[in-house]
Amino acid sequence: MKPISRRDILSQSVVLGAVVAAGLPLAMAEPPTQKPPQRKVVVAGGHPGDPEYGCGGTIARYTDLGHEVVLLYLNRGEWTDKPAYDPAPVRVAEATKACAILKARPLFAGQIDGKSIVDRAHYDQFHELLKTEQPDVVFTQWPIDNHPDHRAISLLVYESWLRSGRKFALYYYEVSNGEDTVQFNPTHYVDISATEIRKRSACYAHASQSPDRYYALQESVTRMRGIESGHKQAEAYIRLTQSPDFGLPCVT
Ligand SMILES: [Zn+2]
């Protein structure tokens, strides 16, 4: 808390005196509370579940602060090599449930699971979609990753950031280190000790995706990032230094 200076006390006395003199109710003497600007945050991931596993605790902190958060999934988790069973409706329902837990909104970019395409036409299509959202900040997967869909979303976001005139802040996140994300050296951390429980629920909403196995792996990462940053659990990021630095709340 900021110590109260003599100058503060004097200026408050002047305000109070003026209020009493004007016969106004005393409640009006309280200084207006300064609300931080509301940010539009997009968290992009290759599949339903990636944004929740990588950034779920951060997302919960932002939505609790009143910021608008959109989870943008590159595909719906469909398996095109098994046409007899299309899990996409299940994956979409799981993503919708996860977003409700985090107070975020799901959005799908319309590509096919395991068959991501990164070419001129898909750069155009993805940029139109992201532009419509008008984000202040975008979190996306780190591009050095063993899954092609994760690499694809990273490149699509980066191209859109360039086309936007480098207007939004850009952060990279990690998912299933070693198996997926590789060689990730964080520059920033978010303490998720208080929101980890909601992150866990959002990840477990993806019940078809072996959450016992994958959440345990991700939790070992957030505990390690917590040790690095002095918290019980933390999510870690790499900020693209050429992107604007809004001094995001919670990010240290
Ligand atoms: Zn994924």
Q: How far is the CA of 145 from the centre of ligand 1 (A)?
A: 10
The parts of the chain modelled with pLDDT lower than 50 are 1-27
108 Cα: distance to centroid of ligand 1 (angstroms): 14
Amino acid 106: pLDDT: 98
Q: Residue 14: its pLDDT value, please?
A: 43
Q: What is the biggest distance separating any 2 CA atoms in the chain, rounded to whole angstroms? A: 79
Q: What is the spatial distance between Cα 71 and Cα 106, in angstroms, rounded to a whole number?
A: 5
Give the residue carrying structure tokens 């998912």.
175
pLDDT for 160 equals 98
pLDDT at 247: 79
pLDDT tens per residue, range 121-164:
999 999 999 999 999 999 999 999 999 999 999 999 999 999 99
Burial class (CB in 10 A: 0-12, 13-18, 19+), 60: buried
Residues lining ion ligand 1 (Cβ < 5 A) are: 46-47, 50
Residue-wise over 115-145: b if at least 16 C-beta within 10 A, else e?
ebebeeebbeebbebbeebebbbbbbbbbeb
At residue 82, the pLDDT reads 64
Distance 7 CA to ligand 1 centre (A): 55
Please report the pLDDT score of residue 20 as a whole number.
40
CA of 177 to the centre of ligand 1 (A): 12
Q: How far is the CA of 28 from the centre of ligand 1 (A)?
A: 52
**How far away, in angstroms, is 129 Cα from ligand 1 center?**
20
**pLDDT score recorded for residue 6:** 44
Concatenate the DSSP letters of all residues of 44-83 into one string.
EESSTTHHHHHHHHHHHHHHHTT-EEEEEEEE----TT-T
